[in-house]
Structure 1
Amino acid sequence: MLSQFTQYLKGTQTLPGERKLVQKLDFFILSFCCLMYFLNYLDRSNLNNAYVSGMKEDLNFHGKQLNQINTVFTVGYTIGQVPCNIALYYFKPRFFFPTMMVIWAGLTMATAGTHSPQGIMAIRFFQAIAESSTFVGTHYILGSWYTEKELGKRSGIFTASGLAGTMIGGFIQTGIHKSMDGQNGLAGWRWLFIVDGIITLPVALYGYLLFPDTPTTTTAPYLSEEEKAHAQSRLPPPNKGSPLTFSFLKRCFLTWPWYLFTGLWIIAGETESFSSNALMALYMKAHPTEKYTISQLNNYPTGVPAVGIVSTIFWATLTDFLNGKRALVGYFIAVTAVCTSAMLLAYPPTASKGHTTIHFAAYYWSGSIYACQAVFFAWANDVLRYEEESLRAVVIASMNMGSNAINAWWSIVFYSADQAPAFRNGAWAMLAVGIALAFWTAAVSFMQKRTWRKKRAELEIDREDGMVRNGEGSTTGVGRSLEEKQGASGVDIRSV
């Protein structure tokens, strides 16, 4: 049995029934979570699609009102992060996730009936709280089911589904604008929100019926009792601890992962700003000489998330293959942020076709920065695999909460719509955070190695104690159980 786990740890063997179990998990977990995140991002990104497709003129937008709506959304999204992940500790994900979907679907459809930017602000605030459950909640769930050698790729697929929502949203808006604009007296951009809300509801029903919750709480009918037990044995047993106590909060604030991973995602999140704030569409709409059609304004920027999807899948898979070397992505993102911002600063928007080509290239390349989403959250799951489940949930939620708290004002200061097409302030800001990310990544990598060296020493001491209690040279008892637990987790602490 011990040799079997050792081979499993090294990736040379899968345990009996492993492949079938993982395939089932992939189908039911990833299908629901990816559809949920796809619709989440579709609803989120289509505000910008609607803005350039007639909503600006119909509702008389002016100044920074679009940025203010995005900021109100970010505030709601930030507020909802930690409470939503703590809610997963008390409510089954099978009920919690779909309920949040039904809420945001209703609010999305309500957006079609608004007649002012202020009305959209109110709706987007509450919609953001409901949508805040999806991203961090799914990363918590993935960390509950998958080992280190599996987690990066699954996190990448999940993140790519959100980018697909951003990419496809432009094409959907183009199709709706052409086929439904004016139907029943409604503008095409209003039909967009109605359609988005309607297609969300069947996915919510699917989640109510078939989402498997977590390994220790699952009642999924498609998992046998043996498979449920096998799923629990693949990872360290969950270390339970209530998140609503003073001692837990004290522990959170005394551990380095809370500070360093939150800081990591705050910095990395702002390197994404050229992509996440839909700046390419604003750049095209405000271009000093080129005039783009509505179809072009919706379709050309879809190349940015397309690059993000390829980059995310590539880096998430590569870091799994390299046994969890997630820091590599941090350095790649830092280089990309520095280079793309330098391109935009060196070639300001002019009538020159060459400058326009360079700007398009910079915006498309900046889409590769999306790779940090999947990899950095997988990194946090890796490091916190031996800690309390509630600590892992709070750290993951705090990462996104911190990033969105900064982005609430960052986009107004550096990427307001009235700064288009140059966004020079934003380019300088991205240059700075790109440099900062390289140093912060190095700090997280150093602390991870130090923590795992300490954990390895503790495991060796426990193993030796177990051997003494069970007879010299024996690998039974405590020593064996700890080694098997480590092997099942997929985390090779002994190689650090």
Structure 2
Amino acid sequence: MKGFLPHLRVLPEELERNHSDVSLSSVDIHEEVSQSAKKDEETKTEALENESQEPQSLQSGIPYELRDEKGRKWWKYFDEFEYRANSEYKKSRNWYTFLYPNHTTQTKSERRLLYKLDLMIGVYFLMLCWCKSLDTSNYSNAYFSGMQKELNMTKNDYINTVAISNVGAIVLQLPFMYILPRFPAHLILPIMDLGWSFFTFACYRAHSLAELRAYRFMVSAFGSAYYPVSQYVLGSWYAPDEISSRVCLFFCGQLLGGVTSGLLQARTYKDLNGVHGISGWRWMFLIDGIAISIPCAIIGFFVIPGIPSKCYSLFLSDEEIRVARARNRRNQINDGVAKNKLLPLLSWKIWKKIFFTPAFWVLVVFDTCSWNNMTAFSGSFLFWLQNDHNYSVVTINNLSVLPACLGFVFVFLCAWGADLFRCKWVFMVFSQIMNCVSCAILIKWDVANSTKWFAFLITYFSVAASPCLWSFINDFLRLDPQLRAVTWIAIYSFSQSTYAWIPTLAWKTVEQPRFKTGYTVSLVFSAVYGLWTFVVLYFYKRNEKKNALGNGIILYNSDNGEAAPAFIETQMEKKGEYYYVKDKENEASYKNDF
């Protein structure tokens, strides 16, 4: 029976260590982490405080590049991966294999692992995001398909209901600061998704605005787990030059929801409106909750693999799990830590580490801009179609899919381009320039109808940068699993909380269809977003330079009178262009020579 249910995978070598009285915790899988872990609380907190001051451990089998920064050019500032990957890592991937490289282990197992991961978590998160987006888009489509009249929604009731729904997501998101590093994702997500499915289904029976708002609040509350848990899992399996493409799949699910919602709502309204005395918009919530969301939640229990150090997958082989762990060691990704090594959530040491780190506030501003520049999800296109054109309900629902369809192209362009060229910032800035053009046209408003169509059709450039944004955040937070969980939720909750009230001021329903205030606010956030990318790039590179040794780069600057570190002679040997650790037993002793 165990073979058919998700269970913690224990490799043969771990069983041997167990027989030798060595712990089987996830930390033991990463030997360099286990050696530095301490049992008592005082030492753990001291280690957390001094984490950034300690040099990283050398690893056997990893090629190290010795790099003299003498005469470094100013334009290297724009080389995003300058300190994130050494020259061997960059050269070992052909450009056409950027989606499926095997440059860490140089084995077929690595590529096979990526194939399986894309089928399991890539496609599944796409499907789950599609469900979530379908439900969100259903609200907009239902509003224009009879819900507005049936529930007597007037003035700003539309946007206020959205704001109330967002509050639900923020409130229930906070407990995941504690839950994420302690409990397996293959249990967290399906349980939350079942609650989300139930209240989505319940929306069909809403007979008053207050009742609808209560259901929408609960839908968002149970859906709050999706974004942080999915990003936590993705960041645990994929390398920094692979993850944007996988987050792209995630956002394609969001776009797919926008496309299919309009089409399904149009078909449902046409075929089922009034059947058994149930309105067409109510049928959509019924279909969404029962036929789509519940099956997705059940599938998640079987396909979400956990994290490499605590793998629950039924579909990965032992060799593929070893490869995943080797990739994480090479890429400096610490995906998990034993529960007895975690600090209490209310420990001041954690919050001091977060709030007194400049990068945290830089990322908060970054994510806040990404939440509030999104004209794509304002519903403004639908209002324009309804007010300025004599279209039927079915036609409006069908036309509503056009911007989202083009959004697929925009998202793929930015996400795949970022991984192909190892350069996220270029595509982030480009997407925000395009969004500013869209907002500027719609602010002016008195333009040719074709120009207005163009502006609406490129609104999804506002979301095209999101895969790159989340990849940046994942890479910033990869070194400490607990800090990663807490910081992810803190950033996400803070920025999402602004989205709960800014739209109520910027996108007032009474201003439709022009929404001049909304487009102006989006233009400002989009411009700041694009410019802030250079600030993020600065802190990212500063962070990676500090961790360059862990990235396989041994830095020194002869311009400043520095010489190559002494441990190169005592602990390493040169093979071709690169240096390797001589003997595994000597890995820990090199610090005396550092």
Q: TM-score, normalised by structure 1?
A: 0.89
Amino acid of the structure 2 residue aligned with 1:204: A
Quick one: which of 582, 586, 589 aligns to 1:476?
582
Q: C-alpha distance in 1, partners of 2:386/2:91?
A: 53
Residue number in structure 2 paired with 1:333:
431
**Per-residue Cα deviation, 1:342-371 (whole angstroms, up to 9, x for no partner):** 1112233xxxxx633222211111112211
Q: C-alpha distance in 2, partners of 1:33/1:108?
A: 19
Q: In structure 2, do the counterparts of structure 1 residues 85 and 326 end up closer, same or farther at CA, with 3 Å as the change threshold?
A: farther
Asked whether 1:460 is paired with 2:554, we answer yes
Contact 1:338 1:434 in 2 (8 A): yes
**Per-residue Cα deviation, 1:237-284 (whole angstroms, up to 9, x for no partner):** 446444612211111112223211111011122111x11122111222
Shift of 1:464: 3.8
Q: C-alpha distance in 2, partners of 1:24/1:181?
A: 42
**Per-residue Cα deviation, 1:106-126 (whole angstroms, up to 9, x for no partner):** 001111111111111111111
Residue number in structure 1 paired with 2:398:
299
Quick one: which of 457, 469, 485 aligns to 1:376?
469
Q: Which has the larger radius of gyration?
A: 2
Gaps of 5+ in 1: 349-353, 483-496
Q: C-alpha distance in 2, partners of 1:312/1:68?
A: 29
Amino acid of the structure 1 residue aligned with 2:381: M
- Please show how residues 304-453 of structure 1 align to structure 2 within 5 Å: 304-323=403-422, 325-348=423-446, 355-385=448-478, 387-453=479-545
Q: TM-score, normalised by structure 2?
A: 0.75
**Per-residue Cα deviation, 1:269-326 (whole angstroms, up to 9, x for no partner):** 2111x11122111222232xx2221112212121122222211111111111112x22
Q: C-alpha distance in 1, partners of 2:402/2:491?
A: 27
Residue number in structure 2 paired with 1:255:
357
Amino acid of the structure 2 residue aligned with 1:476: K
Quick one: which of 91, 95, 100 aligns to 1:10?
91
Q: Which has more helix, going by share of residues?
A: 1
Residue number in structure 1 paired with 2:310:
217
Shift of 1:382: 2.0
Q: Identity over the aligned pairs, expressed in percent?
A: 24
Larger deviation, residues 51-60 vs 222-231 = 222-231
3-state SS of the aligned residue for 2:459?
helix
Amino acid of the structure 1 residue aligned with 2:456: Y
Residue number in structure 2 paired with 1:267:
369
Shift of 1:165: 0.6
**Per-residue Cα deviation, 1:99-141 (whole angstroms, up to 9, x for no partner):** 1111011001111111111111111111111111112221111
Q: C-alpha distance in 1, partners of 2:221/2:322?
A: 35
Contact 1:85 1:136 in 2 (8 A): no
Asked whether 1:276 is paired with 2:382, we answer no
Larger deviation, residues 14-23 vs 241-250 = 241-250
Larger deviation, residues 295-304 vs 59-68 = 295-304
Q: C-alpha distance in 2, partners of 1:69/1:83?
A: 24
Quick one: which of 264, 276, 286 aligns to 2:387?
286
Q: C-alpha distance in 2, partners of 1:189/1:255?
A: 48
Contact 1:377 1:396 in 2 (8 A): no
Shift of 1:201: 1.2
3-state SS of the aligned residue for 1:421?
coil
Quick one: which of 197, 216, 236 aligns to 1:144?
236
Q: In structure 2, do the counterparts of structure 1 residues 472 and 301 end up closer, same or farther at CA, with 3 Å as the change threshold?
A: closer
**Per-residue Cα deviation, 1:45-95 (whole angstroms, up to 9, x for no partner):** 101110000011111111111111100011112223343354221221111
Q: C-alpha distance in 2, partners of 1:404/1:425?
A: 20
Amino acid of the structure 1 residue aligned with 2:294: L
Gaps of 5+ in 2: 1-60, 65-85, 94-101, 557-563, 575-579, 589-594
Q: In structure 2, do the counterparts of structure 1 residues 46 and 85 end up closer, same or farther at CA, with 3 Å as the change threshold?
A: farther
Q: In structure 2, do the counterparts of structure 1 residues 69 and 480 end up closer, same or farther at CA, with 3 Å as the change threshold?
A: farther
Q: C-alpha distance in 2, partners of 1:182/1:347?
A: 38
Contact 1:467 1:476 in 2 (8 A): no
Amino acid of the structure 1 residue aligned with 2:465: C
Residue number in structure 1 paired with 2:301:
208
Q: In structure 2, do the counterparts of structure 1 residues 314 and 478 end up closer, same or farther at CA, with 3 Å as the change threshold?
A: farther
Shift of 1:192: 0.5
Q: C-alpha distance in 1, partners of 2:114/2:264?
A: 33
Residue number in structure 1 paired with 2:245:
153
Quick one: which of 133, 136, 157 aligns to 2:225?
133
- Please show how residues 47-126 of structure 1 align to structure 2 within 5 Å: 47-84=139-176, 86-126=178-218
Amino acid of the structure 2 residue aligned with 1:253: F
Shift of 1:479: 11
Superposed CA RMSD in Å reads 2.4
Q: C-alpha distance in 1, partners of 2:187/2:469?
A: 27
Q: C-alpha distance in 1, partners of 2:358/2:532?
A: 13
Q: C-alpha distance in 2, partners of 1:10/1:161?
A: 33
Q: In structure 2, do the counterparts of structure 1 residues 421 and 238 end up closer, same or farther at CA, with 3 Å as the change threshold?
A: closer
**Per-residue Cα deviation, 1:443-472 (whole angstroms, up to 9, x for no partner):** 111111222222226863799454455377
Amino acid of the structure 1 residue aligned with 2:392: T
3-state SS of the aligned residue for 2:286?
helix
3-state SS of the aligned residue for 1:366?
coil
Amino acid of the structure 2 residue aligned with 1:276: F
Contact 1:265 1:403 in 2 (8 A): yes
Residue number in structure 2 paired with 1:492:
none
Asked whether 1:228 is paired with 2:321, we answer yes
Q: C-alpha distance in 1, partners of 2:203/2:482?
A: 35
Q: C-alpha distance in 1, partners of 2:494/2:586?
A: 40
Q: C-alpha distance in 2, partners of 1:480/1:443?
A: 39
Q: How many residues align?
A: 472
Residue number in structure 1 paired with 2:130:
38
Q: C-alpha distance in 2, partners of 1:472/1:434?
A: 50
Amino acid of the structure 2 residue aligned with 1:315: C
Amino acid of the structure 2 residue aligned with 1:318: G
Contact 2:571 2:587 in 1 (8 A): no
Contact 1:316 1:374 in 2 (8 A): yes
Contact 2:307 2:336 in 1 (8 A): no
Q: In structure 2, do the counterparts of structure 1 residues 464 and 238 end up closer, same or farther at CA, with 3 Å as the change threshold?
A: farther
Contact 1:333 1:434 in 2 (8 A): no
Amino acid of the structure 1 residue aligned with 2:373: T
Q: In structure 2, do the counterparts of structure 1 residues 185 and 472 end up closer, same or farther at CA, with 3 Å as the change threshold?
A: closer
Residue number in structure 1 paired with 2:51:
none
Q: C-alpha distance in 1, partners of 2:583/2:174?
A: 39
Quick one: which of 246, 253, 274 aligns to 2:348?
246
Q: In structure 2, do the counterparts of structure 1 residues 291 and 162 end up closer, same or farther at CA, with 3 Å as the change threshold?
A: same
3-state SS of the aligned residue for 1:460?
strand
3-state SS of the aligned residue for 1:89?
coil
